[in-house]
Amino acid sequence: METIKIGVVGLGTVGTGVVKMLQAHQEKISEITGRKLELACVVVHNLKKHEQVDLGDVQMTDQIATLLDDPSIQIMVEVMGSIHPAKEYITQALQAGKHVVTANKDLIAQYGRELVQIARENHRDLFYEASVAGGIPILRTIDNSFAADRIQRVMGIVNGTTNYIMTQMLTKHWSYDQALSSAQDLGFAESDPTNDVEGLDAAFKMIILTQFAFGMSLSLDHVQVQGITKISPEDIAEAHQLGYTIKLLGIAEEIDDRIAVSVGPVLVSDQHPLATVQNENNAVMVTGTAVGNTMFYGPGAGELPTANSVLSDITTVAKNIALNTTGNTFNSYRQETVLATPEDVVYPHFIALKMRDVPGMMMKLTAIMTRAEVSFSRIIQNQLGDGNARVVIITHAMNDQQLADITREIGEQENMQLLASYKVLKNA
């Protein structure tokens, strides 16, 4: 049986899982692909850190040239993360005639088109299943199984770290710092977790999902992004009291041929399947015109779940090599990017305010809402004990322009402060 040699760049959470799975499932992969896969080298940044790691005959190096300059290595697996030098390594690998598998969503979301072009020019494969929702095979599913359907919306929990943090805070009453530190220890968080908690990691994944589902290419400034760092315990408790769970949701939806993409805390009805997704698990709901609602659930981060997605890409490349059909990248669906306007995006909202507890304040708030043509659906008021009250409103459906008008007017009031505003998702 012919051998395909593989070089892996990165031996952190995902790289370790890839090496383990390549070694453990060798026989099955050979049977499926008709090729023996051989791990030839592993490239790391700091060799000293890995002194205790036993890779047997496999060479460990801190020199990327060992991999790039070896023509016998046919597949490079990039699991080191960040933009530079990962982008340069992938470019050089493709130009040197290697196929590339990566888990790097930051890179694919921002430079995916350029890298796909380089892969095509060099007739090489480029796959990145692990870049979205870790262990859930969502990209290949959208690419293959939704090819003929018209997708209306892709929505879900696509960051494991934040879902893990919020689950621990709600169920075990851990502090934010304690939960984040645990997510880091478990290998879910990015090396710099800012992107996780500020919603950027989820935004990169939504950019990739939008490309697959709608064929439209977005940049980060096309996505409305809010993280979890400003969610307060009061927000969580009041949402709970009203029958909702707060989740960091990515939503990409087509509204009259225009696209709206956002990432932010959303109140999800406790009856909604997304409300039940706990810990580092992710879930992606894809709504198609023909099929209706579908939901894909599983671990969104972690060593072996993510490695499994990387291995599915490696296996695909190996099959393509065996069949002499390489030169494939993921989906080639392309549509002109047309963005929705703030008037297009319509949701009920949870709005929390602090205001002086004196006569007339509620009338002022009602007047602001009336001017924006928004009505209340539910309202709670709690005294803060310092002469102020915390008021929480669930509005009827309103658009982003109405929300912007309300936010501006509240900001102009004395004795009234907007504390939070989140979308509300009612039904499946």
Ligand X SMILES: N[C@@H](CC=O)C(=O)O
Ligand Y SMILES: NC(=O)C1=CN([C@@H]2O[C@H](COP(=O)(O)OP(=O)(O)OC[C@H]3O[C@@H](n4cnc5c(N)ncnc54)[C@H](OP(=O)(O)O)[C@@H]3O)[C@@H](O)[C@H]2O)C=CC1
| CA distance linking residue 379 with residue 5, whole number of Å | 63
Closest CA to 99 of 7, 18, 3: 7
**300 lies in the site for ligand X, by CB under 6 A:** yes
Output the CA–CA distances (angstroms, integers) from residue 150 to 158, 257, 258, in the order listed: 22, 11, 14
Residue 243 per-residue DSSP state = T
**190 lies in the site for ligand X, by CB under 6 A:** yes
Contact 410, 368 (CB under 8 A): yes
13 is in an annotated binding site: yes
**188 lies in the site for ligand Y, by CB under 6 A:** yes
**298 lies in the site for ligand X, by CB under 6 A:** no
Which residue out of 5, 87, 205, 423 is catalytically annotated? 205
Output the DSSP codes for 387-401.
SEEEEEEEEPSEEHH
**156 lies in the site for ligand Y, by CB under 6 A:** no
- The interface partner of residue 159, options being ligand X, ligand Y, none and the CB cut-off 5 to 8 Å by kind, is ligand X
15 is in an annotated binding site: yes
Provide the residue type at 275 as one letter: A
| CA distance linking residue 326 with residue 329, whole number of Å | 9
Task: Compose the 78-117 pattern: x for residues touching ligand X by CB under 6 A, - for all others.
Answer: ----------------------------------------
Contact 163, 282 (CB under 8 A): yes
**134 lies in the site for ligand X, by CB under 6 A:** yes
Q: What residues contact 387, with CB distance under 8 A and at least 6 apart?
A: 356, 357, 358
Q: What is the dihedral of CA 86, 91, 93, 97, to 10 degrees?
A: 160
**298 lies in the site for ligand Y, by CB under 6 A:** no
55 is in an annotated binding site: no
| CA distance linking residue 280 with residue 162, whole number of Å | 8
Q: What residues contact 116, with CB distance under 8 A and at least 6 apart?
A: 126, 329, 330
- The interface partner of residue 196, options being ligand Y, ligand X, none and the CB cut-off 5 to 8 Å by kind, is ligand X
Residue 329 per-residue DSSP state = B
Active site residue 28: no
**250 lies in the site for ligand X, by CB under 6 A:** no
Contact 318, 127 (CB under 8 A): no
Q: How far is the CB of 261 from ligand Y (least distance, A)?
A: 20
10 is in an annotated binding site: yes
Member of 2, 27, 31, 46 binding ligand Y (CB under 6 A):
46
Nearer to ligand X, 160 or 288 (CB): 160
| CA distance linking residue 320 with residue 328, whole number of Å | 8
Task: Compose the 149-178 pattern: x for residues touching ligand X by CB under 6 A, - for all others.
Answer: ----------xxx-----------------
Size of the site for ligand Y (CB under 6 A): 28
From 29-37, 55-63, 187-195, 418-426, span contacting ligand X (CB under 6 A)? 187-195
**92 lies in the site for ligand Y, by CB under 6 A:** no
Name the residues that contact ligand Y, by CB under 6 A. 9-15, 43-46, 49, 79-81, 85, 103-105, 130, 134, 187-188, 190-191, 301-302, 306
Q: Which residues are marked as active site?
A: 205
Name the residues that contact ligand X, by CB under 6 A. 134, 159-161, 188-190, 196, 201, 300-301
